């Protein structure tokens, strides 16, 4: 087999439809566009969502909600995650290296989900009131 002798399988490539080439082709005269109207004209069409002048759906419905772009810089870590991590001192870099928070994260907060038995010293990381109590109860601290 040579590169120049490779051919696609039979029926894999159909010939493209040549419109407007006479009656015998089956697509002569109007070339499959029907009679008159905007869609029959060359260059004649409308923008996405256009409903012929009727108020389009995206304008009939009310605007709702907002998603802050700054949310991607925030992250959460659970007490169970800290237990599994097993580090005595935890900061943002340690959490990123362990894959517990995204690389983009700038603000991390510990939430009270799961149990914590070992003492953990947090630096540069926030915690909810319940999580703070659980960390201090286990002998840890927040800096």
Q: Of 94, 128, 96, 124, give the one whose Cα is nearest residue 111.
A: 128
Paired tokens of 66 = 């907002």
Give the class (CATH, top level) of 70-142: alpha beta
Per-residue pLDDT reduced to its tens digit, 23-39 = 999 999 999 999 999 99
Per-residue pLDDT reduced to its tens digit, 81-134 = 999 998 889 999 999 999 999 999 999 999 999 999 999 999 999 999 999 999
pTM here is 0.56
Residue ranges per structural domain of the chain: 70-142
Average pLDDT over the chain reads 93
Q: Is the pLDDT of residue 45 over 90?
A: no
Which residue is listed with tokens 């286990």?
Answer: 138
Task: Write down the pLDDT at residue 1.
Answer: 85
Helix (H) or strand (E) holding 15: none
Task: Write down the pLDDT at residue 44.
Answer: 87
Cα Rg of the chain, angstroms: 32
Q: Is the pLDDT of residue 40 over 90?
A: yes
Q: What DSSP line would sit under 28-78, residue for residue?
A: -TTTTS-SSSGGGSTT----TT-BTTBPPHHHHSPP-----GGGGGEEEEE
CA distances to 78, 83, 125 from 119, rounded to whole Å, are: 15, 9, 15
């Amino acid at each position: 087999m040579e590169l120049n002798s490779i051919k696609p399988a039979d029926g894999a490539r159909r010939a493209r439809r040549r419109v407007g080439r006479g009656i015998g082709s089956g697509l002569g005269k109007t070339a499959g566009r029907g009679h008159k109207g905007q869609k029959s004209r060359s260059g004649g069409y409308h923008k996405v969502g256009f409903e012929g002048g009727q108020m389009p759906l995206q304008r009939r419905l009310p605007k709702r909600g907002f998603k802050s772009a700054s949310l991607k810089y925030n992250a959460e870590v659970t007490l169970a995650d800290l237990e599994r991590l097993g580090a005595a001192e935890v900061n943002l870099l340690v959490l990123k290296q362990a894959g517990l928070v995204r690389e983009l994260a700038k603000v991390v907060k510990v939430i009270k989900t799961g149990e914590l038995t070992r003492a953990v010293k947090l630096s540069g990381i926030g915690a909810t009131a319940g999580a703070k109590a659980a960390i201090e109860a286990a002998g840890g601290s927040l800096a």
